[in-house]
């Protein structure tokens, strides 16, 4: 029995030894065909993906190169900007000349206003564009602090008749500006002159007011008119000789007179 047990144990040991030695001495190798086929397939996939990425990169490069070729250089852009600025200045000058040309052949003057600026405008807001133009021109002129004779045709109809008679027309847009007695033009002309710096040259030599451009008159509140002191704005006074009411000779159709503080 002991002998049989020894044989069994030795046979078990021998088997394990032979299996281990066989696996160690003769390792199982994969078939060369399968390894070659797998390597080729992996290489084929990697090559195809690489080619696709490379093609996309080339396409993107071609797009950027095309944009770069179409985009002008810095020198070209500077020359184009300079050319555009020159064209804009020339167009503004031509526009200014065209705006001021209608009365160049026959100069129009407003006698008695050689020492001031006269502006005919309206303070009513019935037409928004007209009111905005009048306001803008008034602010531009007030900036220079020169004496401005503001003649509001909505407060006194005699100014409207005066303007139409001076210009010799039946209908005139507002505002209209006279500088040193010479007719200049409307809102477009004044804005162009102010932008080009020529308005300051035209106003040079006029007396400067002590009051600031944004200060309001204490007497009229920048309305430029006050109620008539003779009739208290009623437009009628009592005549003792005729013993009846007569029209006040001092005020306009609205019972107002010019402010003696800021319009004198």
pLDDT tens column, 18-59 = 444 444 444 555 544 444 454 444 444 445 555 666 676 777
pLDDT in tens, 165-217: 999 888 899 999 999 999 999 999 999 999 999 999 999 999 887 766 667 88
pTM over 0.75: no
240/194 same-domain check? no
Answer for the pair 131, 190: CB distance below 8 angstroms, yes or no: no
Kindly report whether the peptide bond that precedes residue 257 is cis, defined as omega within 30 degrees of 0.
no
Tokens of 112: 């008695």
173/143 same-domain check? yes
- Domain assignment present for residue 137? The answer is yes
Please tell me the predicted confidence (pLDDT) of residue 134: 96
Could you tell me the residue range of the domain that residue 163 belongs to? 117-203
- Domain assignment present for residue 164? The answer is yes
189/248 same-domain check? no
Please tell me the predicted confidence (pLDDT) of residue 33: 46
Q: Residue 247: pLDDT above 70?
A: yes
Q: Helix crossing, 74-100 with 187-196: angle to 10°? A: 140
d(CA 199, CA 192): 9
- Domain assignment present for residue 243? The answer is yes
- Domain assignment present for residue 145? The answer is yes
User: Hey, how many other C-beta atoms are within 10 angstroms of the C-beta on 110?
Assistant: 21
Answer for the pair 130, 99: CB distance below 8 angstroms, yes or no: no
166/123 same-domain check? yes
d(CA 113, CA 260): 17
CATH number at residue 161: 3.40.30.10
d(CA 224, CA 132): 19
Please tell me the predicted confidence (pLDDT) of residue 240: 87
Our count of domains for the chain comes to: 2
187/240 same-domain check? no
- Domain assignment present for residue 124? The answer is yes
192/230 same-domain check? no
- Domain assignment present for residue 24? The answer is no
Contacting residues for 130 by C-beta, under 8 A, at least 6 apart: 122, 173, 174
Q: What is the mean pLDDT of residues 232-241?
A: 91
């Amino acid at each position: 029995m002991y002998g049989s047990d020894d044989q069994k144990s030795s046979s078990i040991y021998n088997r394990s030894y032979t299996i281990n030695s066989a696996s160690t001495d003769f390792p199982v190798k994969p078939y060369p065909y399968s390894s070659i086929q797998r390597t080729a397939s992996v290489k084929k996939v990697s090559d195809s993906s690489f080619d696709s990425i490379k093609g996309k990169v080339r396409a993107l490069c071609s797009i950027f190169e095309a944009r770069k070729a179409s985009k002008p250089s810095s020198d070209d852009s500077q020359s184009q900007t300079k050319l555009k600025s020159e064209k804009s200045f020339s167009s503004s000058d031509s526009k200014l000349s065209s705006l001021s040309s209608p009365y160049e052949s026959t100069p129009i003057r407003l006698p008695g206003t050689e020492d001031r600026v006269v502006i005919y405008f309206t303070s009513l807001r019935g037409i928004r564009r007209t009111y905005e133009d009048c306001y803008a021109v008034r602010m531009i002129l007030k900036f220079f602090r020169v004496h401005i004779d503001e003649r509001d045709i909505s407060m006194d109809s005699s100014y409207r008749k005066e303007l139409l008679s001076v210009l010799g027309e039946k209908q005139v847009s507002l505002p209209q500006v006279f500088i040193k007695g010479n007719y200049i033009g409307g809102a477009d002309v004044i804005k162009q002159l102010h932008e080009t710096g020529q308005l300051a040259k035209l106003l040079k030599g006029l007396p400067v007011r002590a009051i600031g451009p944004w200060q309001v008159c204490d007497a009229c509140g920048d309305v430029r008119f006050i109620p008539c002191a003779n009739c208290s704005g009623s437009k009628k006074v009592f005549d003792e000789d005729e013993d009846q009411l007569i029209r006040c000779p001092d005020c306009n159709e609205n019972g107002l007179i010019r402010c003696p503080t800021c319009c004198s």
